[in-house]
Structure 1
Amino acid sequence: SRSYIEFPNIRFSTANLSSVSSNGIFYNSGFLVKTVSGERKMFFNKHNEFGDTVWTIIWDSSDAGGTGILLTDNDEFILTGGLGFGGTTADIFLSKHDSNGNNIWIQTYGGSEDEIGFGIVQDNLGNLYIGGYTNSFGKGKYDNYLLKTDPVGGKIWDKTYGTKRSEGGMVPFVFVDDFIFCWGHMDTLGALSQTGDNNYVAKLDLDGNIIWRKFVVDNNSLSTTIWNATFHPKYGIFLCGEYNVASKGLAMRFDLDGNLIWQRTYSTRRIPAWDQCYFTDIDVLDNGDIIVLGTAPSITDTTRLDRDIWVLRLDSMGCLVPGCDTLNTGIQDPAALTSTFLIYPNPARKQTKILLERPLTIDAEVLLFNFLGQKVMTVKAYQGMIDLPLDLKGLGAGIYVVQIVSNGEVLGKGKVVVDAH
């Protein structure tokens, strides 16, 4: 079935769906933008098992937006997003509602500038973890922001993750075995000619410490875009989005230790100067098959220059055609999207930083070699570190080889370009 929700005098709206309860109901939350004034209003709906709208509530608060929704016990639900959404001083809000939409409690969090919440997960004690971005705290703009509260929204701690450049926020998407899994955006592109964020998926403990993080980048350091993630207890972690090198729909599967199992890219046909194909949502069936939803140029009507809704059903290996993991079917391409570490910024001048995917489990050294193979720098790196700063002020302009070494074994290597100071 399908249902439509119409709002008069609205320029556009966005929506986010909750999971489905045991009796089939689910909730929808988002924001509306008024045509004349541009004012934003938050709405939320309840739907029955057929998708029919049971009720709709528009929150009587100027410039509010709901961007994350969590179904809880007794068909109650929790919302997050922003109050003052669209301005420069929004606060994250967290509100709980009963099955009729009545507000049970509400809490707000933020500083002197802009914060927005994107997603919520709940642990087995009822504590809540809200992910989003912050401009009040952290190192730069739109830093990844994670906030932990008790079951009624009382703040326990908050943490930021980011660089001095502009990030894009983070989204917690599942709580499993006393760990939180998140995806997000981090600006790890140092060259001024490159734009956009690199994306990552990460595993965190309940104190917000990073257990591992996996950057989703290609060999040319061009950005990818992750739009959504999901988890299946048998099959692991799945991401979807866009492979920006060729503007194709991207799907990836990881195990719970962050190891990439497969990655697939798909497209329909190309239209010049368009971002043609991308996936916006992904779900996994109990038999391992995968449903991905996105947008792409029409396959049947090649005269149109706009895009259609795009739905694919893939097998557990991400294949539209069985055996794509061993055969080249002509429609999906292997995308080289893995890295043991990233160097940010790169090119660099006075300082840079090595961003590891996992904290070091042993003490190590970072070695830099010039183009003649001469060692020009040694930096100690200790167990537990995940970001390794490098002071480059004593180095001349050029390309340097970077090695991470422990007990004579090379744990990882890369290159950094040092510009003239």
Structure 2
Amino acid sequence: MTASVQQTNDGGYILAGSTTFSSEGFPDFWLIKTDTLGNEEWSRTFGGSSYDYAHSVQQTDDGGYIITGGTQSYGAGNWDIWLIKTDSYGNEEWHHTFGESTYDYAWSVQQISDGGYIIAGSTDSYGIGIWDDYLLIKTNFLGDEEWHHTFGGSSYEIAQSVQQTADNGYILAGYTGSYGSGCEDAWLIRTNSSGNELWNRTLGGEGCDRSYSVQQTTDGGFILAGSTESYGAETTDAWLIKVCGDE
């Protein structure tokens, strides 16, 4: 199962996901490199004695790759965030886990302008809610945590996507059960460069509405992709939303 893909600087592609083709029989992180026509050049697996799922990959400035997702094989809790850095051939250079005793999971990673990494996910270990809160983690170029922030209410929030913005802040997108008008609403949070919230918006109707991906647009606004039960012709429809960049 693949969950993330990006074109690489040689015109090929890098894919990340999970596979059970391992000696342990549990899902492992799976990294696949292809040429420009999609033919496999190499693949690598990373994992331990339990479940490990990769959800996001990006090529780094040095030609290697950064991968994140969730692990039950390593770390302190039931699920922990797992961050792996490889060289250009997919060989591991280092890895880190983040989390405490309960549930911590990552869905998105991006290398940022200072060479470090920004990770978005969800956490039961930190924050104020009984259930998951948005989790934003900033690391240095070696994957050591510099800070983290949580965002959430009395129910659950899952951050699915993060991007550094033009002013070196961050934009997060996912969905919330604590705020908004429906059973779930898309939730967009804008932060400064230190991860402190500048503003947030809920988007949706009376049904369950989610956002899974966000990008800043050339006009300073944001484009979101997700799913909606509130709008459209079917029970669940694809959902594309454009918002302005002002509060």
Q: TM-score, normalised by structure 1?
A: 0.52
How far residue 153 of structure 1 moved from its aligned partner, in angstroms, is: 0.8
Look at both structures and tell me which one has the larger radius of gyration over its CA atoms. 1
Q: Determine whether 1:39 maps to 2:29.
A: no
Q: 1:171 — aligned with what? A: 161
Measured in 1, the distance between the counterparts of 2:160 and 2:244 equals 20
AA aligned opposite 1:47 = T
AA aligned opposite 2:132 = Y
Q: 1:121 — aligned with what? A: 110
Q: 1:48 — aligned with what? A: 35
Residues 180, 204 of structure 2: 8 Å contact kept = no
How far residue 223 of structure 1 moved from its aligned partner, in angstroms, is: 2.8
- Taking structure 1 as reference, are residues 107 and 137 closer, same or farther at Cα in structure 2, changes over 3 Å only? same
Aligned match for 2:197, one of 186, 210, 223: 210
Residues 69, 78 of structure 1: 8 Å contact kept = yes
- Taking structure 1 as reference, are residues 52 and 233 closer, same or farther at Cα in structure 2, changes over 3 Å only? farther
Residues 147-203 of structure 1, C-alpha deviations (whole Å, 9 max, x = no match) = 111111111111111112122234213442211111022213599xx64x2112222
The 5 A counterparts of 1:17-416 are 17-18=5-6, 20-33=7-20, 39-62=26-49, 63-84=51-72, 89-139=78-128, 140-188=130-178, 195=183, 197-218=184-205, 221-233=206-218, 236-245=221-230, 246=232, 247-257=236-246
Measured in 2, the distance between the counterparts of 1:181 and 1:190 equals 18
- Taking structure 1 as reference, are residues 21 and 129 closer, same or farther at Cα in structure 2, changes over 3 Å only? same
Measured in 2, the distance between the counterparts of 1:15 and 1:142 equals 21
Q: Cα RMSD over matched residues?
A: 2.4
AA aligned opposite 1:239 = L
Residues 17, 27 of structure 1: 8 Å contact kept = yes
Residues 123, 175 of structure 1: 8 Å contact kept = no
- Taking structure 1 as reference, are residues 216 and 33 closer, same or farther at Cα in structure 2, changes over 3 Å only? farther
Flag structure 2 segments of 5+ consecutive residues without an equivalent.
none
AA aligned opposite 1:49 = T
Residues 234-293 of structure 1, C-alpha deviations (whole Å, 9 max, x = no match) = 574211222212433221112332xxxxxxxxxxxxxxxxxxxxxxxxxxxxxxxxxxxx
Residues 118-159 of structure 1, C-alpha deviations (whole Å, 9 max, x = no match) = 111232211211110111111221111111111111111111
Measured in 1, the distance between the counterparts of 2:56 and 2:165 equals 15
- Taking structure 1 as reference, are residues 253 and 152 closer, same or farther at Cα in structure 2, changes over 3 Å only? same
AA aligned opposite 1:78 = I
AA aligned opposite 1:152 = L
Measured in 2, the distance between the counterparts of 1:54 and 1:256 equals 41
Measured in 1, the distance between the counterparts of 2:143 and 2:87 equals 15
Measured in 2, the distance between the counterparts of 1:24 and 1:233 equals 24
Query: Relative contact order (C-alpha < 8 Å, sep 6+): which is higher?
Result: 2
Q: 1:334 — aligned with what? A: none
Residues 391-416 of structure 1, C-alpha deviations (whole Å, 9 max, x = no match) = xxxxxxxxxxxxxxxxxxxxxxxxxx
Q: TM-score, normalised by structure 2?
A: 0.85
How far residue 224 of structure 1 moved from its aligned partner, in angstroms, is: 1.1
Question: How many residue pairs get matched?
Answer: 236
Flag structure 1 segments of 5+ consecutive residues without an equivalent.
1-12, 258-357, 359-421
Measured in 2, the distance between the counterparts of 1:54 and 1:211 equals 43
Residues 307-354 of structure 1, C-alpha deviations (whole Å, 9 max, x = no match) = xxxxxxxxxxxxxxxxxxxxxxxxxxxxxxxxxxxxxxxxxxxxxxxx
Residues 142, 169 of structure 1: 8 Å contact kept = no
AA aligned opposite 2:139 = T
- Taking structure 1 as reference, are residues 190 and 249 closer, same or farther at Cα in structure 2, changes over 3 Å only? closer
Measured in 2, the distance between the counterparts of 1:241 and 1:235 equals 20
How far residue 38 of structure 1 moved from its aligned partner, in angstroms, is: 7.4
